[in-house]
Chain A
Amino acid sequence: MIFKWTKGGKSQALVPAAAKTTSASARSEVDGASGDLRLPLTADALRRSVDPGSLGFKSTAELEPIDGLIGQDRALRAIQFGADMKAHDFNMFVLGPPSTGKSTAVKSYLAHKLRPEQHPSDWVYVNDFETPNRPRAIRLPCGRAREFSLGMIKAIDELRATLPAMFEGDEYQTRKRAIDEAFRAGQESALEGLNRKAQAQNIAILRTPTGFAMAPILEGKVVKPEVFMQLPEDMRRSVETKIEALQTELEALLGQAPKSDKERRHKLAALQDEVATAAIHEALDELEAAFADQPDVIAHLVAARADMIRNAALFLADGEGDGSAIKPPADTSRDARFRRYLVNLFVGGQPGDVCETPVVEEANPTYGNLIGRIEHVAQMGNMMTDFLLVKAGALHRANGGYLLLDARKLLLSQFAWEALKRAIKGRQIKVEQPTETVGMMTAQTLDPAPIPLDVKVILFGDRELYYTLAQADPDFARLFKVQADFDDTIARSSDNDRAYARLIASIVKEHSLKAVDAGGVARLIEEGARLADDREKLSIEIGRIADIVREADYWAGQEKRKVIASADVAKAIDEARDRASRLRDRAQEMVERNIVLIDTAGSAVGQINGLTVQQLGTFAFGRPARITARVRMGQGRVTDIEREVNLGGPLHSKGVMILWGFLAGRYAHDTPLALAASLVFEQSYGGVDGDSASSAELYALLSALADAPINQALAVTGAVNQRGDVQAIGGVNEKIEGFFDLCAARGLDGTHGVLIPQANTQHLMVREDIVEAVTDGKFRIYAVASIDEGIELLTGRPAADVHAAVEARLATFARQLKAYQTPQEATPS
């Protein structure tokens, strides 16, 4: 029964239970040492203790810490299978409650697992000189990426020195001058020739602002126009004709200049290529030899060589001597001119990298962290990128090995889950902007070549998440075929108790704590059973056990003890509980102050103490709740008031409907069920769910029908079926403790107790003070298997008497209803 926070109400008068003692209750007071049904349980049935002496050691210092986990054989076999299975769609989901060591187990197994036949590859991205927006990916043997990168830098460094030297060298300069001079001299010579020819005809070629012009000369001076006009016409015409002819010749000569210049430039370019080629070949030869066995590298070097020859000028523009204020960096890897030739060490190649199967745990599985990202830098107000800014994600780093992810975090990251599936299905990783994957318009960016993917993905999550994914996402079942289901408990046995002790020794060693003595270990084993909510089991949520041991270590230190004793463990448990119990204490205070009405003495018709559990994080506590029933003649309906106002969950509603089935099955064979009843959790305003109070509701209903008062010193928990069998519920220990605390606060007088389902006796691990109270006869716990047993304990009357009273009442209702519904016959006058 899950119960939410409610507000208080007013108490009502109670009938003392002692006045209602019957023969049935007398039977129930018989000594319960035999464990008879309807007899209170004995103390040893309430808590399974551990005798420290039976453990066979004095402290955990004598024990060998356990290597690995205990009680997880199924899960460990699954992990082994999943890790070994090479198929790309046999990825793994490791499920189970937190703190059960899932992550530790997986990492431990993977650390020991050897895959010598597989070494991860290095991956680099290099520039594609033809299509720079599509960087090329090159796979290299592990450890060689760095060699490749450094080799390129070395080649560029060499060219930075040799190319300028070669272009400043005598041979190049001489040949360049010869080409320039040939062009210039050719032009000059042609002009000179034309000039001489013109001079011979008394024509001068003069320079004008933008070219040349011709004019008649006499004795070396240009003839003035007014003098020229005085010459005879035929002489003038002759001069004009000569000038016209020479101008045409000059036009033709100068018209050749662009073509000649183009030829000059081609020759210069060919010369530059020739000089650059020799130097570039020399610089890259060593690298080509070193990577002769890597065809992709060789292909890239061939392309790089051609590009370097085309762009040899990059190596010459060093800024020295030209007075430029900004000098290029000495570090080639930081010089923007040579970025195009550098190598992006995408995966591997970093100092400290080792060549072994990668096991990568990505703590923040966002889209970018998984798939990689394309980074940008701001330049002059624009966002720029290139192949060097493509960054690897966790999938890249785990390629060839294993990738460990928290499933919940993965699902909460936008685009990440879809991207992961896409990568696994396609068996490749494509680095792209998330907006591109959903077809949103983006600016032009890089399109790096995808990288083949061979990885085993291991997700960690709780069971709820696993089953939700399995149901909602068809891809999940196809891609994650291996489930490693971590149990949260192991069965109690002497072997397992010993293993548990070794587990505690492991915790002590891992956290460098004081050793735990046998008493402390015994107390921890008992707490393990309590955490398992089952006296036959032990919780293997290692994290929670470790927290208790660590806190016990603290308390032992406070007491100046050198070993952790049982008292320290108990204190750790109590202190942790106390830190979390403010709301519990507040709730109890409200009951003690009668703000919330709960009777723990007397009796009342149609009123019973139900028991609920409130869960706050890892802390749960029990709270009693008053349940009341009212009955009258009606059309055959049990009104669940919680459900009517939407405060009742479906499980609670189901429980109430089951009551109706019981009533109909027990009492309405031949007569209609002319009953209108209402049930309510008094002073409950926060919603209820679960059916663990259905037996209490039924008792209240029967009490109301039979007019049989219920003992208010008792509280009840248990579900009921249509046959009247009382069924197991959860949180039995907390429920018992919740009622006990209230009764103890008011003063235990030996009449107080709790009715629990028989099936829950195996879950009993109540607190030691309750065990003590039971031993002292101040509190009782009854295990019942049927409604009949319970009604006898609660009313003190035989069940048959109660049923008979119920039947009689229902028959009365049926008659009354019939009378009410039959039309009155008119009396003849």
Chain B
Amino acid sequence: MIAHVAEATEARGRVIVRTTSARASDIAMQAAVQIAQAYRSEIESLYIEDTELIALSRFSFVREISAFGGKSRPLTPGIVVRDLRNQFAGLQRRLEQLAGAAQVPIRERFVRDDPLRALAVTCADCGPWNVVVLTEPFGGSSGGDIAQVLDNVEDATGLVLVGPRASRTQGPVVMVLEDIDALSGMIRAGDRLIETSGAPLVLAIIGADGDTSEWIEQQARLALGNRSDLHLVHLALNHAEPALAAEAIRRMAPGFVIARFGGLAVPAADDLSPLAAGLECPVLLSR
């Protein structure tokens, strides 16, 4: 769980914003600035020229098929690099604009490497208290990729994702509690987020069954004590289905979701399509 994100003065970690293509979500960039602001941290923009992509472009028979209408063109390393750099420059300008408005320091790093390795190296350079923000929206089948990041990047205490329907970062901060052990970390992260946003903090409890939910709630109340600024809700699901959990979360219209990877809300192995279809805000994942 997120134990700590280093503040700027500590220089022990940053908010790493990883971008590998032009599909970067503006909501993801806003989330990165919000996290950096909450933790008084810096942003490290990491733009990765995928070596595999460049290698691919050296094949003479390879063509690039346009995502808009299917037209194709020959692909060369020069074209790939030029296009990527142009896109990255535009994205960096946007991120600088967002960071500047929030008075968050920002640095940039351009590398040519395998995306996973580049991320791991960067986190190690900046770490150990980093939060990684993946700017490309996840899809239904992205579970594996997410697991790979969490497994291979050791110096990241949290991972922020956005879905394809992400449209806001303002709204309640919803902590989806499925395991009581995750409570303290979630609370610390939630408190940080609402400190700058002023949004309400909601603890949404999901249990495998009603008894489990009640037990989690009791434990949570004991742990929280007399805290009155936190809303505690049960997400009552007829079945323990990720789709139902995703819908229940969507109905709460959150501005930020904090959840554990591998739970019902963000399953590790299952299809993430329901979450992708319904999630309209960033999600901060813990291991």
Q: How many Å lie between the Cα of A250 and that of B70 in the bound state?
A: 7
When distances are taken between beta carbons in the complex, the residues of chain B under 8 Å from A244 are 61
A164-215 contacts to B (CB < 8 Å) = 170, 177, 180-181, 184-185, 188, 192, 204, 206-215
Q: Judging by beta carbons under 8 Å apart, are B66 and A243 in contact?
A: no
Q: Judging by beta carbons under 8 Å apart, are A207 and B59 in contact?
A: no
Question: Who on chain A is nearest to B58 by CB?
Answer: A225
When distances are taken between beta carbons in the complex, the residues of chain B under 8 Å from A247 are 63, 65, 72
Residue B262 is within 8 A (CB to CB) of chain A in the complex: no
Residue A314 is within 8 A (CB to CB) of chain B in the complex: no
A685-704 contacts to B (CB < 8 Å) = none
Q: Judging by beta carbons under 8 Å apart, are A177 and B278 in contact?
A: yes
Q: Judging by beta carbons under 8 Å apart, are B22 and A209 in contact?
A: yes
Q: Judging by beta carbons under 8 Å apart, are A222 and B80 in contact?
A: no
Supply 25 A–B pairs (Cβ within 8 Å), ascending by A. A177-B165, A177-B277, A181-B277, A184-B277, A188-B139, A206-B50, A207-B20, A208-B53, A208-B83, A209-B84, A209-B87, A211-B66, A213-B65, A215-B55, A222-B55, A224-B55, A224-B58, A243-B61, A244-B61, A250-B65, A251-B70, A251-B71, A254-B67, A257-B70, A321-B170
When distances are taken between beta carbons in the complex, the residues of chain A under 8 Å from B165 are 177, 180
What's the interface size class on B, roughly?
A: 35 or more
When distances are taken between beta carbons in the complex, the residues of chain A under 8 Å from B57 are 208, 213
When distances are taken between beta carbons in the complex, the residues of chain B under 8 Å from A204 are 52
Q: How many Å lie between the Cα of A180 and that of B52 in the bound state?
A: 32
Q: Closest CB of chain A to B168's CB: distance in Å?
A: 8
Q: Closest CB of chain B to A606's CB: distance in Å?
A: 109
When distances are taken between beta carbons in the complex, the residues of chain A under 8 Å from B66 are 210-211, 254
Residue A577 is within 8 A (CB to CB) of chain B in the complex: no
Q: How many Å lie between the Cα of A254 and that of B66 in the bound state?
A: 8
Q: Judging by beta carbons under 8 Å apart, are B67 and A211 in contact?
A: yes
Question: Who on chain B is nearest to A205 by CB?
Answer: B65
Contact of A207 among B21, B58, B68, B251 (CB under 8 A): B21
Question: Who on chain A is nearest to B277 by CB?
Answer: A181
Q: How many Å lie between the Cα of A243 and that of B84 in the bound state?
A: 23
Q: Judging by beta carbons under 8 Å apart, are B64 and A213 in contact?
A: yes
B148-202 contacts to A (CB < 8 Å) = 164-165, 170
Q: Judging by beta carbons under 8 Å apart, are B72 and A251 in contact?
A: yes
Q: Which of A213, A247, A252 has the most CB of B within 10 A?
A: A213
Residue B112 is within 8 A (CB to CB) of chain A in the complex: no
For chain A, what secondary structure do more than half of its interface residues adopt (helix, strand, loop), or is it mixed? helix
Task: Given contacts A210-B22, A221-B52, A222-B56, list 4 more A-B pairs with CB under 8 A.
Answer: A208-B53, A225-B58, A255-B70, A258-B69
Nearest 7 interchain pairs by C-beta: A255-B70, A209-B83, A254-B70, A215-B56, A225-B58, A222-B52, A211-B66
Q: Closest CB of chain B to A207's CB: distance in Å?
A: 5
Question: Who on chain B is nearest to A253 by CB?
Answer: B70
Q: How many Å lie between the Cα of A256 and that of B87 in the bound state?
A: 25
Taking beta carbons and an 8 Å cutoff, which residues of A are in contact with B?
Answer: 170, 177, 180-181, 184-185, 188, 192, 204, 206-216, 221-225, 228, 240, 243-244, 247, 250-258, 321
Question: Who on chain A is nearest to B72 by CB?
Answer: A251
Q: Judging by beta carbons under 8 Å apart, are A211 and B56 in contact?
A: no
Taking beta carbons and an 8 Å cutoff, which residues of B are in contact with A?
Answer: 20-23, 50, 52-53, 55-59, 61-72, 75, 80, 83-84, 87, 139-141, 164-165, 170, 251, 273, 277-278
Q: How many Å lie between the Cα of A87 and that of B70 in the bound state?
A: 75
Q: Judging by beta carbons under 8 Å apart, are A207 and B64 in contact?
A: no
When distances are taken between beta carbons in the complex, the residues of chain A under 8 Å from B139 are 188
When distances are taken between beta carbons in the complex, the residues of chain A under 8 Å from B273 are 185
When distances are taken between beta carbons in the complex, the residues of chain B under 8 Å from A252 are 70
When distances are taken between beta carbons in the complex, the residues of chain B under 8 Å from A223 are 55
Contact of A212 among B58, B61, B64, B278 (CB under 8 A): B64
Q: How many Å lie between the Cα of A251 and that of B65 in the bound state?
A: 6
Question: Who on chain B is nearest to A256 by CB?
Answer: B70
Q: How many Å lie between the Cα of A732 and that of B277 in the bound state?
A: 108
Q: Judging by beta carbons under 8 Å apart, are A206 and B277 in contact?
A: no
Q: Which of B52, B70, B83 has the most CB of A within 10 A?
A: B70
Question: Who on chain A is nearest to B84 by CB?
Answer: A209
Q: Which of B61, B68, B87 has the most CB of A within 10 A?
A: B61
Q: Judging by beta carbons under 8 Å apart, are A207 and B72 in contact?
A: no
Q: Judging by beta carbons under 8 Å apart, are B68 and A213 in contact?
A: no
Q: How many Å lie between the Cα of A676 and that of B73 in the bound state?
A: 118
Question: Who on chain A is nearest to B69 by CB?
Answer: A258
When distances are taken between beta carbons in the complex, the residues of chain B under 8 Å from A257 are 67-70
Q: Closest CB of chain B to A191's CB: distance in Å?
A: 9
Q: Closest CB of chain A to B74's CB: distance in Å?
A: 10
When distances are taken between beta carbons in the complex, the residues of chain A under 8 Å from B62 are 213-215, 243
Q: Closest CB of chain B to A198's CB: distance in Å?
A: 12
Q: How many Å lie between the Cα of A214 and that of B52 in the bound state?
A: 11
Q: How many Å lie between the Cα of A215 and that of B87 in the bound state?
A: 23
Q: Closest CB of chain A to B80's CB: distance in Å?
A: 6
Q: Closest CB of chain A to B119's CB: distance in Å?
A: 16
Q: How many Å lie between the Cα of A207 and that of B21 in the bound state?
A: 8
Q: How many Å lie between the Cα of A170 and that of B56 in the bound state?
A: 46
Contact of A240 among B23, B50, B61 (CB under 8 A): B61
Q: Closest CB of chain B to A675's CB: distance in Å?
A: 111
Q: Judging by beta carbons under 8 Å apart, are A208 and B59 in contact?
A: no
Q: Judging by beta carbons under 8 Å apart, are A210 and B140 in contact?
A: no
Q: How many Å lie between the Cα of A185 and that of B53 in the bound state?
A: 25
When distances are taken between beta carbons in the complex, the residues of chain A under 8 Å from B65 are 211-213, 247, 250-251, 254
Q: How many Å lie between the Cα of A240 and that of B63 in the bound state?
A: 11
Q: Judging by beta carbons under 8 Å apart, are B64 and A210 in contact?
A: yes
Q: A254-B69, A257-B69 are in contact. Are A209 and B61 (CB under 8 A)?
A: no
Contact of A184 among B52, B84, B164 (CB under 8 A): B164
When distances are taken between beta carbons in the complex, the residues of chain A under 8 Å from B141 are 192
Q: Closest CB of chain B to A264's CB: distance in Å?
A: 14
Q: A188-B140, A257-B69, A258-B69 are in contact. Are A210 and B56 (CB under 8 A)?
A: no
When distances are taken between beta carbons in the complex, the residues of chain A under 8 Å from B21 are 207, 209
Q: How many Å lie between the Cα of A67 and that of B62 in the bound state?
A: 107
Contact of B67 among A212, A214, A228 (CB under 8 A): A212
Q: A222-B52, A251-B72 are in contact. Are A213 and B63 (CB under 8 A)?
A: yes
When distances are taken between beta carbons in the complex, the residues of chain B under 8 Å from A221 are 52
Q: Which of A188, A209, A243, A251 has the most CB of B within 10 A?
A: A209
Q: Closest CB of chain A to B39's CB: distance in Å?
A: 24
Q: Judging by beta carbons under 8 Å apart, are B70 and A208 in contact?
A: no
When distances are taken between beta carbons in the complex, the residues of chain A under 8 Å from B87 are 209
Q: How many Å lie between the Cα of A821 and that of B57 in the bound state?
A: 134
Q: How many Å lie between the Cα of A240 and that of B59 in the bound state?
A: 10
When distances are taken between beta carbons in the complex, the residues of chain B under 8 Å from A228 are 59
Question: Who on chain B is nearest to A261 by CB?
Answer: B68
Q: Judging by beta carbons under 8 Å apart, are A211 and B61 in contact?
A: no
Contact of B53 among A184, A188, A206, A255 (CB under 8 A): A206
Q: How many Å lie between the Cα of A339 and that of B52 in the bound state?
A: 57
Q: How many Å lie between the Cα of A209 and that of B65 in the bound state?
A: 10
When distances are taken between beta carbons in the complex, the residues of chain B under 8 Å from A206 are 50, 52-53, 56
When distances are taken between beta carbons in the complex, the residues of chain B under 8 Å from A192 are 141
Question: Who on chain B is nearest to A217 by CB?
Answer: B52
Q: How many Å lie between the Cα of A235 and that of B85 in the bound state?
A: 34
Q: Judging by beta carbons under 8 Å apart, are B58 and A211 in contact?
A: no
Question: Who on chain A is nearest to B67 by CB?
Answer: A211
Q: How many Å lie between the Cα of A452 and that of B68 in the bound state?
A: 58
Q: Which of A204, A210, A240, A258 has the most CB of B within 10 A?
A: A210
Q: Closest CB of chain A to B100's CB: distance in Å?
A: 16
Contact of A209 among B56, B80, B140, B164 (CB under 8 A): B80
When distances are taken between beta carbons in the complex, the residues of chain A under 8 Å from B50 are 206
Q: How many Å lie between the Cα of A228 and that of B57 in the bound state?
A: 13
Question: Who on chain B is nearest to A226 by CB?
Answer: B58
Question: Who on chain A is nearest to B247 by CB?
Answer: A174
Q: Which of A188, A192, A206, A243 has the most CB of B within 10 A?
A: A206
Q: Judging by beta carbons under 8 Å apart, are B64 and A211 in contact?
A: yes
Q: Judging by beta carbons under 8 Å apart, are B67 and A225 in contact?
A: no
Q: How many Å lie between the Cα of A188 and that of B276 in the bound state?
A: 12
Q: Closest CB of chain B to A732's CB: distance in Å?
A: 96
Q: How many Å lie between the Cα of A216 and that of B22 in the bound state?
A: 24
Q: Judging by beta carbons under 8 Å apart, are A207 and B278 in contact?
A: no
